[in-house]
Amino acid sequence: MLTTSSDPIALDQQRVLQVYRRSPVVFESGRGCSLFTRDGQRYLDLISGVGVAALGHAHPALARAIADQASTLLHTSNLFHHPLQAELAARLAELSGLSRAFFCNSGAEAVETCLKFARRYWHAHGEPGRTGFVALDHSFHGRTMGAVSVTWDVHYREQFGPLIPGVTFVPAGEAAAVRAAITKSTAAVIVEPIQGEGGVRPLTPLTADAIADACRATGALLIADEVQCGLGRTGRAFYSPVLGLQPDLMALGKALGGGVPIGAALFSEKVASAAKAGDHGSTYGGNLLACRAALVFLDELIEGGLMQHVAQVGAHLESGLRAIATRQPGVKDLRGAGLMWGIELDRPAASVVQAALDRHLLINRTSDTVVRLLPPYVIGEPEIDEALPLLEAAIATALEAPRT
Ligand SMILES: Cc1ncc(COP(=O)(O)O)c(C=O)c1O
C-alpha cells in the first residue's frame, strides 16, 4: 500500500473539497465482505461502496483480470476499436433486450446520456420543442447538471440553478397525477424502478401501469434508471420487467465494473437510430480496463450463478430483517428486494449508522429516516447471521436514546 500521509483524515480536511460527511475511519484493504483498517481492525461491509463492490473486495478473478489488462493495454480512446467494448455491449443487449450501448464512467453520466438522447430522438423526428421530462418525487439520478435537474430533493438542486428547464416532478404514489403529467410535450419519463437514495422505495404496480399507459398514449420515451437496483442487485437482472415496464433507454453504473468506474446507457433500436457520429462521446468511456472488469462481473453474475445466489441470500436477509422489524417498535417499514433494503425508522437514522459503526458494521442512511443495506452480492448466510444481531443492537441502542 503506497501512502505517504500518516494522518489522511487531517490531510483530507486541508486539501480535498469538503463535500462529503465521511465517517472518521480509514480503510486500507478488503476481502470479500470485510474491510480492514491500517491497524488491522475488521469491519463487516453491508453497503459495498454504495452498491458498487458487488463481487466483494479483492475478488480473485476480478483482481487477476485487472492486473492482466493493465499489463496488456489499458486505454486507446474511442478513436480506435478494441475487442472488449463491443463484446460488453452485446452481453448487455442480451441481458436487457435493449440493442445498443454507450459507455461512460458513472451513473450520472449514463443518466445524462439518456436525457440527451431522449431529446435527440425528438429532434430527429421533427419535434425539437418536445423537451420536457417527467420525474417522480424522492427520485435521485446523479449530480451532473442534467441528472440533478431530474433529482427531486431540492437540497441537491437549489444552489446550482438555473438547471435544465421543463422538468415536472409528480408524487410517485399518485398514479392519476403521474398519468396526467405525461403529455405530448414530454420527451421522456425517468424512473428508478426501486428508488435508492430516496429511501429504497419500489415503484407501485399502479404507478408503473400508469406510466406505461401514458407513454403508450403520448409517445413519451421511458428512461429506466437501474443504476442502483439493476444488474442483479434484486436477484433479477433488472427491476423494470418486474413492474411490466419496457424502457426505451436504461442507465447503468455502480455494480457494472465491480469497483472499476464504468457507466452505460442502453438504447432501443428506435432511439439509437436517431444518433449520428459526433453526437456524443467520452474520452475514457468503455476503455479496455473498464470493459474487462465489467465482463468479469457479468461472467460471475450469469455463468457463475451469482444472480441466483443473490435471490437466495436475499430471502434469508429479508426474513431476518422482518423479524427485527417485529421486535423493534421504532421500525416503521421495511422495503426492498434481494440485497437492497431500506429500514424506515420513526426518527432520523444517523444514530443507528453510528451505533452500527461502533460495532464494526457498515451500513448507511438515506432519506434521513431510512437505514439502507446494499451488501456485496457474494455475501453468505453466515455473514448475514453475523450482521443481523449487530444491526438489531445498533437499532435498539439508538432508539433507546432520547430523541434529539
Ligand atoms: C439511481 C441512481 N442513479 C444515478 C446515480 C448516480 O451515479 P454516480 O454517483 O455513479 O454518478 C445514483 C447514485 O447513487 C443512483 O442511485
12 and 145 share one domain: no
Q: Looking at ligand 1, which residue's alpha carbon is closest to its atom 8?
A: 107
Domain presence at residue 66: no
Tell whether 222 and 342 lie within a shared domain: no
Q: Label residue 1 by pLDDT band (50, 70, 90).
A: low
- Do residues 278 and 137 both lie within one domain? yes
Q: In what order do the strands lie in the sheet with 364-366?
A: 331-337, 340-345, 370-373, 364-366
Per-residue pLDDT at 404 exceeds 80: no
Evaluate the omega torsion of the peptide bond into residue 162 and state whether it is cis, within 30 degrees of 0: yes
Mutation probe of ligand 1 site: the residue of 141, 145, 203, 256 with most atoms within 8 A of C-beta: 141
Cα distance between the two ends of the chain: 41
pLDDT in tens, 304-332: 999 999 999 999 999 999 999 999 999 99
Establish if 63 belongs to a structural domain: no
Region for 402 from its dihedrals, namely left if φ exceeds 0, alpha if ψ lies in -120 to 50, beta otherwise: beta
- DSSP conformation letters of 288-312: HHHHHHHHHHHIIIIIT-HHHHHHH
286 has a pLDDT exceeding 80? yes
Last residue of a domain, one of 257, 280, 303: 303
* Average pLDDT value over all residues in the chain: 97
Cell numbers at residue 365, please?
Answer: 442512511
Q: How far is the CA of 346 from the centre of ligand 1 (A)?
A: 26
263 pLDDT more than 90: yes
Q: Are residues 152 and 295 part of one domain?
A: yes
Q: Which of 274, 303, 332 is the last residue of a domain?
A: 303
Ligand 1 contact, 188 CB (< 6 A): no
The verdict on 154 and 29 lying in the same domain is: no
Distance between Cα 188 and ligand 1 center (Å):
18
In terms of domains, do 194 and 83 share one?
yes
pLDDT given for residue 399 in this prediction: 84
Rg (CA), the chain: 21
CATH number of 118's domain = 3.40.640.10
Q: What is the CATH number of the domain that holds 361?
A: 3.90.1150.10
Which of 48, 103, 254 to mutate for ligand 1's pocket (most ligand atoms within 8 Å of CB)?
Answer: 254
Q: Are residues 35 and 83 in the same domain?
A: no
Shared domain check, 206 and 352: no
In a domain, 169, yes or no: yes
Residue 25 lies in a domain: yes
328 belongs to a structural domain: yes
- Considering the domain architecture, whether residues 49 and 145 belong to the same structural domain is answered as no
392 Cβ closer than 6 Å to some ligand 1 atom: no
For atom 7 of ligand 1, which residue has the closest CA? 107
Query: Interior CA angle at 102 toward 110 and 336, to 5°?
Result: 40
Dist. CA 147 → ligand 1 center (Å): 9
Identify the domain boundary among 251, 278, 303: 303
**pTM, to two decimals:** 0.98
Same domain membership, residue 290 and residue 192: yes
Please identify, by atom number, the ligand 1 atom nearest to the C-alpha of residue 263.
Answer: 10
Same domain for 270 and 340?
Answer: no
User: Is the residue at 16 inside a domain?
Assistant: yes
Q: Is 1 a domain residue?
A: no
Same domain, 240 and 99: yes
Q: Count of domains in the chain? A: 2
The pLDDT assigned to 400 comes to: 84
Domain that holds residue 295: 73-303
Is 111 domain-assigned? yes
